[in-house]
Amino acid sequence: MAGSNRAIYAIFALALIFLVATVAFLVLPIQLPLTGASSSTSGTPTVTITLYAGEISTGKYGFGLSPNNLKSPGPTFYFNTTDIVKITVVNAGKMPHAFACVNAPRTGAPVLFGAAIASASNPLPPGQSGSITFNPNTVSSEYYYICPVPGHAELGMWGTMVVSPG
């Protein structure tokens, strides 16, 4: 009888460990640091972009190069590793939004290059704007920019950035 109780406890313990590991894998993915990533830069910009953020329709958000041309996904930007990029984000929407360069188009992805304007916990109010200057100095076929406010990236508020050697 004592042996069967131990077996049940062992199976229960293994099931619990598996559950915790699964949740950790799905909810808290391990992100490998990018080598060469830098924080924001204060040099003279070689690329200047004004990006508008807002709602396209009910349940669909986006970015655009004008307040009347928001798209999901937003426009694709092409940078070189030597560029110093200044992005100004204008919240043209009716709810708070923010901006971050990330490695995946999803809420909670880590910010790259120190490139973030406002945040999920302190977003830009409607009608407000913010700017960031950064150097995208790590080559990748694709990075992304998102609105890090929970759920906004999943509702289409993201775009692609391609960084090439230069």
Q: How far apart are CA 74 and CA 145, in angstroms?
A: 9
pTM for the predicted model, two decimal places: 0.74
Dump pLDDT digits (tens) for 67-107.
999 999 999 999 999 999 999 999 999 999 999 999 999 99
DSSP state of 49: E
Dump pLDDT digits (tens) for 23-39.
333 333 333 333 223 34
Quick one: which of 96, 158, 153 has its CA closest to 130?
A: 96
Q: How far apart are CA 149 and CA 147, in angstroms?
A: 6
Dump pLDDT digits (tens) for 125-153.
999 999 999 999 888 779 999 999 999 99
Q: Strands 85-91 and 77-80: what pairing? A: unpaired
Which pLDDT belongs to residue 42? Answer: 64
